[in-house]
Amino acid sequence: MSTEEVADFVERTNFKNIVEWLTAESILHRPEDPIVFCRNLLSQKIAARGDSPFDAAQPTEYLKSCYEEAGTGEAKNYMVDTGALATMETRIKKLEQLLEASKAIANCLDPYEATTVIIKESLDILSADRASLWTVTEDGKNLKLMVAEGVENLTVPVGVGIAGGVAKSKVPVNITDAYSDERFDKSYDKESGYVTKTMLCEPIIAASGEVVGVMQVLNKSGGVPFNAQDEEHARLVTAQAGVALKNAQIFRSQMLMQKKLRSVTDLIKALQENMGINSLIFTMTTKAPLLTDADRCSIFIVDGKANALTSLQGEVNISISLDKASIATSVANSGTLINIPEAYSDERFNQAVDKASGYTTKTILCMPIKAKGTVVGVIQLINKADGPFDENDEEIMSTFLDLAGPIIMESSIVQAQQKDEETGSEFAGKTVIRTKAAAMPVLEGFAEGSEDEEEDDE
């Protein structure tokens, strides 16, 4: 179409006034959806003219009528509503924040990094003072407060307290006055000096529908309670957080599996090298925590002649009579593993060493080391990083101990124990106890040796 033809069309149809009229009507009425508004306005005019053909003079009349309405109408019909604009701008900024938050959260593959980002974005979006994030442990029984990797984290049972209740019910909780809510535990405020006034607690649900965590946000700025819009924004944040945390858990599990496979490879190589008993036990106590993600590990050898479990720290023998009741002796006598999810709830656990050392034993996996059907030793793993030891831990350790048992039985030290009737010598070398990072005293790694040794001396 030529320029002349375009100009002719615009003049012949009075198209310029049509556009100006629609623009003026939109500005006058300020519809939420201008396109739908213009469509409806045109439909009304078309219906009003019936079967009459298009009249190019009509747009001019429409435009004149619109201006007259604006000139004689009330101010609210044509003045800009500043309050509405401010509200709209706030909503747009909030949506932009949520979009940026989703991007930031989605990029995290480390659970602790994801936690940091989720908390930061939640505080910004909800205009709150503090926030915390709890994740569900692998067994699904507890919530763990995410602080930092390697730091001892607080845990609460699912179904207990506000966060535990939200995890169990999958229903968010909005508390306008924390101190008047019987579910709120004031002890945390008393310890820290912080005063919790308002709280919004939202479940973090993965795409599968399972609860993977809980987010708690405290004290909205301005001293006002969290409102319905805050609840909606929190749901949007936790929806993205659920995906991110699940992905991070999967990624972390893969990294741990790779680490375990490397440890298994190292152990198999060590077993094939025909190393001495000392080197073997050193390797076992170093690598076993990596296989199970445990904090500490100790190994005791069965001394059949002395009827005791024996280990060596430095130049001091530590011996526990097999006749004494303890977790390790129970495993040695029965040949059956013991997996304790809560040490302090088990009557076989000796709390005295924890009290003396300041260490807190939470979970224990104690397994027999066998050879030809005979128990030749006991290995004890303490405090798995995330919840109790599970069947996978039992299986991988069982496979490893099946290989280590015969080597321990055939070692010169064990044979010396069996043959030495004159000196009663228990060890010709040293057995060490190691954490994943550094050597640890045997009495801290094995929470049952100290008192028994003292009692024997008495």
Query: pLDDT tens, 396-434?
Result: 888 888 888 888 887 745 555 555 544 444 444 333 333
- Which pLDDT score, from 0 to 100, does residue 239 have? 82
Long-range contacts of the stretch 9-12 (C-beta < 8 A, 24+): 12/56
- Do 294 and 333 lie in one domain? The reply is yes
Return the closest-CA partner of residue 444 out of 299, 339, 296: 296
Q: Is 272 exposed, middle or buried (0-12, 13-18, 19+ CB in 10 A)?
A: exposed
CA distance 405 to 133: 43
- Contact between 135 and 122 under an 8 Å Cβ cutoff? The reply is no
- Which pLDDT score, from 0 to 100, does residue 388 have? 87
CA distance 294 to 133: 23
- Do 310 and 224 lie in one domain? The reply is no
- Do 384 and 334 lie in one domain? The reply is yes
The domain that holds 196 is classified in CATH as: 3.30.450.40
Count: domains in the chain: 3
- Contact between 218 and 199 under an 8 Å Cβ cutoff? The reply is yes
Asked if residue 457 belongs to a domain, the reply is: no
- Which pLDDT score, from 0 to 100, does residue 93 have? 65
- Tokens of residue 311, six digits: 């280990």
Asked if residue 67 belongs to a domain, the reply is: no
- Do 278 and 247 lie in one domain? The reply is no
Q: What is the DSSP string of 311-367?
A: EEETTEEEEEETTS--HHHHHHHH---EEES-GGG-TTS--HHHHHH------EEEE
CA distance 377 to 367: 9
- Which pLDDT score, from 0 to 100, does residue 89 have? 60
Domain-ending residue, one of 252, 287, 319: 252
- Contact between 329 and 320 under an 8 Å Cβ cutoff? The reply is yes
Handedness of CA 5, 6, 7, 12 (dihedral sign): positive
Return the closest-CA partner of residue 378 out of 318, 441, 328, 313: 328
- Do 33 and 142 lie in one domain? The reply is no
CB atoms within 10 A of CB 383: 22
Whole-model pTM: value is: 0.49
Asked if residue 87 belongs to a domain, the reply is: no
Handedness of CA 310, 313, 315, 320 (dihedral sign): negative
- Tokens of residue 51, six digits: 């079967």
Asked if residue 7 belongs to a domain, the reply is: yes
- Do 296 and 194 lie in one domain? The reply is no
- Do 228 and 325 lie in one domain? The reply is no
- Do 243 and 102 lie in one domain? The reply is yes
- Do 243 and 282 lie in one domain? The reply is no
Asked if residue 72 belongs to a domain, the reply is: no
Asked if residue 258 belongs to a domain, the reply is: no
- Do 241 and 278 lie in one domain? The reply is no
DSSP β-bridge partners for residue 215: 133, 202
Listed as ranges, residues in the chain with pLDDT below 70 are: 1-3, 67, 69-99, 101-111, 147-153, 270-276, 312-317, 412-458
Handedness of CA 190, 192, 193, 199 (dihedral sign): negative
Asked if residue 223 belongs to a domain, the reply is: yes
- Do 103 and 232 lie in one domain? The reply is yes
- Do 209 and 316 lie in one domain? The reply is no
- Which pLDDT score, from 0 to 100, does residue 437 have? 37
Residue span of the structural domain in which 49 resides? 3-54
Asked if residue 83 belongs to a domain, the reply is: no
DSSP β-bridge partners for residue 142: 157
- Which pLDDT score, from 0 to 100, does residue 271 have? 66
